């Protein structure tokens, strides 16, 4: 009976060891490649490649010169991106991240240190891409002024009430707008930068359609990151203008003089023709 019990015990140990060996992984794993920050309007993802097969990825991140920490949604996963938006709460701070190649969940490895790949540094305030704004066009009644009303852009950052903060909320006085415009049938462009989201343009020709694009402009950023994405092109309507508004006083006066000259010339020709006809008729009667 004792021998049988001992055999059963060793049999259990062997089965457990076999399961452990089957679940363990020896050797290394491929390192993550192309670790990149992708951020639009403060929604920030860390992405990398390749897609894992028999291993997983874990993301660690931290502010500069602080200890790494993990987010529970990005531990031993088989995806190749991690959403860190909710973790990067200090928008003016600089962050770094590491992508670790680790065993799949439920498996083990004899490695002490897992392969890791570091990201570049990332600061949300300085590096997130600002999306394209939308705007409305209003033409004044006298057609002398066009006003652009630019709508604020929502971000992925939440305030204390869990409402989305806007670009204006975050950048405040650092936020400006760049307007690029041209006549609808011309390639020549003009630009204007304004701190207001209501931009008035008065250097326009009356009765002409103009086309506009708008971008967010952050002057405190590095040169290649100051401008956000361009808006869609919008053009103003020409509208119907009264005759006197279409032309200057000089042009109208010149037109009137021209018409008077033409009428005078026609009358003169008619008078001369009639006079010659009368003279010819009188000469004919005298011969008879």
Superfamily of domain 28-127: Immunoglobulins (2.60.40.10)
Partners of 164 in beta bridges: 158
* pLDDT tens by residue, 160-217: 888 999 999 999 999 999 999 999 888 889 999 999 999 999 988 888 899 999 999 9
What would the mean pLDDT of 121-147 be, rounded to a whole number? 95
What would the mean pLDDT of 96-112 be, rounded to a whole number? 91
Are the CB atoms for 120 and 107 separated by under 8 Å? no
Task: Supply the CATH classification number for the domain 135-245.
Answer: 2.60.40.10
Q: Quick one: tokens of 270?
A: 């008619």
Indicate the pairing of strand 24-25 with strand 108-109: parallel
Domain boundaries, the chain: 28-127, 135-245
**CATH topology agreement for domains 28-127 and 135-245:** yes
Instruction: List CB contacts of 274: < 8 A, sequence separation 6 or more.
Output: none
DSSP reduced 3-state for 26: coil
Q: Quick one: tokens of 82?
A: 């991690």
Q: pTM surpassing 0.75?
A: no
Q: Which of 93-97, 128-132, 215-219, 248-252 has the lowest mean pLDDT?
A: 248-252
d(CA 22, CA 251): 95
pLDDT over 70, % of the chain:
82
d(CA 286, CA 247): 57
DSSP reduced 3-state for 97: strand
């Amino acid at each position: 009976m004792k021998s049988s019990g001992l055999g059963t015990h060793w049999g259990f140990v062997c089965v457990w060891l076999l399961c452990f060996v089957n679940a363990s992984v020896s050797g290394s794993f491929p390192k993550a490649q192309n670790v990149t920050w992708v951020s639009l309007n403060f929604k920030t993802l860390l992405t990398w490649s390749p897609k894992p097969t028999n291993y997983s990825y874990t993301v660690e991140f931290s502010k500069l010169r602080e200890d790494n920490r993990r987010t529970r949604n990005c531990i031993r996963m088989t995806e190749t991106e991690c959403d860190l938006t909710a973790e990067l709460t200090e928008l003016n701070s600089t962050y770094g991240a590491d992508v670790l190649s680790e065993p799949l969940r439920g498996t083990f490895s004899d490695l002490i240190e897992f392969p890791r790949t570091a990201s570049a540094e990332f600061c949300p305030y300085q590096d997130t891409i600002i999306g394209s704004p939308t705007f409305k066009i209003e033409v004044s009644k006298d057609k002398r002024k066009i006003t652009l009303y630019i709508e604020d852009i929502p971000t992925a950052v939440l305030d204390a009430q869990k409402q989305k903060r806007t670009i204006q909320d975050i950048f405040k006085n650092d936020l400006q707008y760049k307007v690029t415009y041209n006549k609808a049938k011309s390639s020549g462009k003009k630009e204007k930068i304004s701190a207001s989201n209501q931009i008035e343009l008065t250097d326009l020709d009356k009765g002409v359609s103009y086309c506009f694009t708008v971008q967010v402009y952050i002057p405190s950023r590095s040169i290649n990151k100051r401008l956000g994405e361009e808006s869609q092109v919008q053009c103003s309507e020409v509208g119907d203008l009264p005759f006197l508004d279409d032309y200057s006083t000089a042009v109208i006066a010149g037109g009137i003089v021209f018409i008077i000259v033409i009428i005078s010339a026609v009358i003169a020709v008619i008078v001369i023709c009639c006079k010659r006809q009368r003279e010819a008729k009188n000469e004919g009667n005298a011969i008879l």
